[in-house]
Amino acid sequence: MIKELDGILKDALKLVYLDHSNHLFHQTNYHIHYFEMRKRQNDILRDMAENVNRCQLAASESMILAQLFKKTAQQLSQENPAQDLLDDISQYLAIFRERPLPKTREEFETRATLLQLLRDLETFIQVKVDFYQQFHKETE
């Protein structure tokens, strides 16, 4: 699915650049930046998918990630500034910091992967937040 999205985004960017070059007066690069942002997010998703496939999370951790991924999917639209999603991730990171240290190597590796997934999700959303802050005035 991620490879398919790569192709769709590549085609969309070609069209946006073509459309942009066909206009004499360029008011904004909004669409170019929008699809570039989505391409960057897709690259992050690829990394996240690899990490998800490699790790064996405990049921409670899996549920937390599933809820966070679901909330992200429901809320991450073109119009949503997404700052509240970053706040949620910060709360989860704080909760995980308070948990006891891992006792085994397997538990350590699982926790490290969980932390990486949360950091990747944070970056994924931050890319959107940065885009929104830069361009939301142009869409109003």
- Answer yes or no: pTM beyond 0.85: no
Q: Residue 120 has what pLDDT?
A: 94
> 106 is in which domain, residue-wise?
2-139
Cα 32 from Cα 43, distance rounded (Å): 17
What token pair was written down for 133? 């802050």
Q: Residue 99 has what pLDDT?
A: 87
In sequence order, what are the residues at sequence separation of 6 or more whose Cβ sits closer than 8 angstroms to the Cβ of residue 68?
A: 88, 89, 92, 118, 121
φ, ψ dihedrals at 80, nearest 5°:
-85, 125
Count up the domains in the chain and report the number: 1
In sequence order, what are the residues at sequence separation of 6 or more whose Cβ sits closer than 8 angstroms to the Cβ of residue 31?
A: 16, 19, 20
Q: What is the pLDDT of residues 41-69, one digit of tens each?
A: 999 999 998 888 877 767 677 788 888 88
In sequence order, what are the residues at sequence separation of 6 or more whose Cβ sits closer than 8 angstroms to the Cβ of residue 75?
A: 82, 84, 85
* CATH code for the domain in which residue 33 is found: 1.20.120
Query: Helices 105-139 and 30-54, interaxial angle, to 10°?
Result: 170
Q: Which of 129, 119, 116 is nearest to 76 (CA)?
A: 129
> What's the mean pLDDT when you consider all of the chain?
82
> Averaged over 20-33, what is the pLDDT?
68
